[in-house]
Amino acid sequence: MTSSDPLRDPARCKELLAQIEESVKGSTLRFMEVCGTHTVALFRSGVHSLLPKSVVHLTGPGCPVCVTHESEVAAYLELAGKEGVIIATFGDLMRVPGPGGASLKKAHAEGARVEVVYSPFDALAIARDNPGDKVVFLGIGFETTTPTVAATVRIARQEGLKNFLVMPFHKLVPPALDALLSDPDMAVEGFMLPGHVSAIIGMEPYRPLAERYRIPAVVAGFEPVDLLQAILLMAEMKRQGKPKVINNYKRVVADEGNPKARAIVAEVYKPVDALWRGIGTIPLSGLGFTDAYRAYDAFEVLGVELKASKPLPGCRCGEVLKGIMRPDECPLFGKACTPAQPVGPCMVSTEGSCAAYFKYQIDLNSDR
């Protein structure tokens, strides 16, 4: 089902749209998506602009680059340019602004050794080729990315590679949903749950959404039909007052997730409190190294610490990430802040809400 037609079939989409309209009649559906790829898919597919006005889409904290805290950004920028350190990173972090306009891109231009990799595994080759240096991989990302980093650390250990280190900035989705829901300002009536995070963690961690918070939630794929089916399911559950957690992306998500990937993560990492941009500390929402793997912890080996760091002046990413503010409501949006000249991380990453709004120029004058 790579891009197979049934999942993009216009007639089917039209039918689903009509069903959604019928289901939300006289009511609303304020749904939040917590995956940057969903943000982009909703816009790019045109689904966002076709939805009835009463269906309101909120983007949540689902962009890993965006939720990386300013203190974490300051910490890796402090390492860039240090003697004997090579930073290996996903490309998305290159332009994320840090204190005083610093960024990895700028550090690189000024001589720091920074390598962009597609996979954490590629960073091992850099470590092998530079035995006299420490290669520090910036471990950002949610549950989908974490296993790839953990597996890489395990391979490094099997190989006896000692100059490969990780800054564990990993974040966990369910504790963040919990934190969001404990905010009384949150008026979310449905969750579109991340497809590939769920492929790892499975359905179990989401049960409280329906049972405790009574909010309908659907794991969704990324094709237009996937997105519309998920919205229809949320709308129907709300209408019927039957909140459930539904897996509607079974071709990729097994209900039990991927136990092998989780076991590898559990061998290398343990849950720790973590900082989220705009939200602050969320208990047990991140991962730190287990004792057995401490030798791979860049913080410990290189003596780096997370220090208090000021939020970026004027940037409202924090509120955008919580779904409280729409990107175009930020006073800097499209003016001082554009993808070419980003003020905050939500405008940097292609999965960032601000970047998506800017790129697709969505409904800027409408009231949704």
Partner 1 sequence: MCLAVPMEVKHIEGEVADVEIGGVRKQIRLDLIEDKPAVGEFVIIHAGFAIRILNREEALETLKIFQEGWNLDLI
Residues within the interface to ligand SF4 (CB under 6 A): 314-317, 320, 327, 330, 332-333, 337, 343-344, 346-347, 354
Residue 281's DSSP bridge partners are 275
Q: Is 158 helix (H, G, I), strand (E, B) or coil?
A: helix
Residue nearest to ligand SF4 (CB): 344
Pick what 125 binds: ligand SF4, partner 1, none; C-beta below 5 to 8 Å, kind-dependent: none
**CB-nearer residue toward ligand SF4: 165 or 320:** 320
Positive or negative: CA dihedral 357, 6, 17, 14:
positive
Q: Got the DSSP string for 179-231?
A: HHHTSTT----EEEE-HHHHHHH-SGGGHHHHHTT---EEE--SSHHHHHHHH
Pick what 7 binds: ligand SF4, partner 1, none; C-beta below 5 to 8 Å, kind-dependent: partner 1
Quick one: which of 20, 34, 36, 346 contacts partner 1 (CB under 8 A)?
36
Binding track, positions 226-255, relative to partner 1; x by CB under 8 A: ---x---x--xx--x-x-x-x-x-xxxxx-
Contact predicate 362/43, CB 8 Å: yes
Q: Got the DSSP string for 279-340?
A: TEEEEEEEEEE-GGGGGGBHHHHHT------PPPTT--HHHHHTTSS-GGGSTTBTTTB-SS
Pick what 332 binds: ligand SF4, partner 1, none; C-beta below 5 to 8 Å, kind-dependent: ligand SF4
Pick what 144 binds: partner 1, ligand SF4, none; C-beta below 5 to 8 Å, kind-dependent: partner 1
Pick what 258 binds: partner 1, ligand SF4, none; C-beta below 5 to 8 Å, kind-dependent: partner 1
Residues 137-157 as b/e (b if ≥16 CB within 10 A, e otherwise) read: bbbbbbbbbbbbbbbbbeebb
Determine the Cα–Cα distance for residues 199 and 225; give it in Å rounded to an integer: 19
Least gap, CB of 141 to partner 1 (angstroms): 7
**Interface with partner 1 in residues 52-81 (CB under 8 A):** 64-65
**CB-nearer residue toward ligand SF4: 249 or 333:** 333
**CB-nearer residue toward ligand SF4: 58 or 231:** 58
Which helix (H) or strand (E) segment holds residue 263: the answer is: helix 259-268
Pick what 86 binds: ligand SF4, partner 1, none; C-beta below 5 to 8 Å, kind-dependent: none
Structure tokens belonging to residue 340: 């070419």
Q: Which residues contact 109 (CB under 8 A, 6 or more apart)?
A: none
Site of interaction with partner 1 (CB under 8 A): 1-2, 4, 6-7, 16, 35-37, 64-65, 90-92, 118-122, 140-142, 144-145, 147-148, 151, 154-155, 195-196, 199-200, 225, 229, 233, 236-237, 240, 242, 244, 246, 248, 250-254, 258-261, 264, 349, 351
